[in-house]
């Protein structure tokens, strides 16, 4: 089958079992508010759907120190717990993540993201959105070479059956994509520890600052479509996809 022909095939709406172990919709922003009050302001606006909160370890580090550390600058300091999703909030951003259950679907994420943004807009908390991100992590309890269209050649010889962690930075449309593959990877679940491979795809993008509130959700919709196309058409092996009971 040609690449053009495969690109015309419909994308599955569901696979069983679902391989998604986490999904994140993230908004990083600049604000005029003091870093110490941002989590509290957000909690006061969203507590109807996220009534319980837990302080995270990063909250013990002074913000002045965290602001100088790239790995902690946007890290959440508080986790707010909802029925299906959790809201992770820091002084310069927030993200929606999965709760303890299975992935509830993009419709649930989209609705909750829209609602959170509606609650925050009157606060005028977001001065400039620095980065928007959509990140999916998928786990497969199969050898990497059986499920993903990925290879690593060293000296002309494939090393794909060896332990490895590979990160690639790609561009799809106007999205900056970081694809990371880890094998072997371990997944802790209610059924015990599983071994397999982990696929992590993080799409970063921006919007026109003047049109943020009008464009933010449609841009997440676009990123979600790009994410699906990469997953089903570029990353999953067609023969492996056929074993996952795809629904169209």
**Taking the domains of the chain in order of start, what are their residue ranges?**
3-244
Task: Tell me what the pLDDT averaged over the chain comes to.
Answer: 93
Contacts of 142 (CB under 8 A, 6+ apart): 196, 197, 240
b/e burial code for range 105-136 (CB count within 10 A of at least 16 → b): ebebbbebbeebbeebeeeebbeebeebbbbb
246 has pLDDT over 90: yes
Q: Looking at beta carbons, which pairs linking 52-57 to residues 24 or more positions away fall under 8 Å?
A: 52/80, 52/81, 53/78, 53/79, 53/80, 53/81, 54/78, 54/79, 54/81, 56/88
Neighbouring C-beta atoms of residue 138, cutoff 10 Å = 23
Please write the tens of the pLDDT for every residue from 11-52.
Answer: 999 999 999 999 999 999 999 999 889 999 999 999 999 999
Helix-helix angle 106-120:38-46, to 10 degrees: 110
Question: What percent of the chain clears pLDDT 90, i.e. is strictly above it?
Answer: 83
**pLDDT average, residue stretch 131-136:** 98
% of the chain at pLDDT higher than 70: 97
Taking residue 3's Cβ as centre, other Cβ atoms within 10 Å add up to: 8
139-197, pLDDT tens digit by residue? 999 999 999 999 999 999 999 999 999 999 999 988 999 999 999 999 987 778 999 99
What confidence score (pLDDT) does residue 101 get?
85
Q: φ and ψ at 102, to 5 degrees?
A: -80, 165
Per-residue confidence at 209, pLDDT binned at 50, 70, 90? Answer: very high
- What is the band of 4 on the pLDDT scale with cuts at 50, 70, 90? very low
Distance CA 67, CA 138 (A): 30
pLDDT at 7: 56
């Amino acid at each position: 089958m040609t690449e053009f022909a495969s690109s015309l095939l419909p994308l599955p709406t569901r696979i069983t079992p679902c391989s998604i172990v986490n999904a994140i919709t993230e908004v990083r922003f600049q604000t005029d508010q003091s870093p110490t009050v941002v989590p509290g302001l957000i909690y006061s606006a969203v507590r109807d759907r996220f009534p319980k909160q837990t302080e995270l370890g990063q909250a013990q580090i002074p913000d002045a120190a965290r602001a100088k550390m790239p790995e902690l600058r946007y890290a959440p300091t508080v986790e707010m717990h909802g029925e299906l999703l959790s809201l992770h909030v820091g002084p310069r951003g927030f993200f929606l993540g999965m709760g303890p259950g299975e992935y509830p679907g993009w419709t649930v994420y989209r609705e909750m993201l829209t609602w959170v943004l509606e609650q925050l807009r009157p606060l005028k908390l977001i001065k400039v959105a620095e980065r928007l991100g959509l990140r999916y992590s998928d786990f497969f309890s199969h050898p990497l070479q059986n499920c993903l269209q990925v290879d690593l050649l060293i000296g002309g010889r494939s090393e794909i059956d060896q332990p490895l962690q590979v990160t690639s930075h790609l561009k799809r449309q106007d999205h900056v994509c970081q694809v990371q593959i880890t094998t072997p990877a371990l997944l802790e679940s209610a059924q015990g520890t599983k071994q397999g491979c982990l696929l992590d795809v993080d799409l970063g993008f921006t919007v026109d600052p003047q049109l943020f509130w009008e464009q933010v959700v449609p841009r997440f919709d676009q990123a979600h479509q790009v994410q699906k196309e990469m997953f089903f058409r570029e990353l999953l092996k067609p023969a492996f996809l056929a074993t996952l009971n795809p629904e169209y």
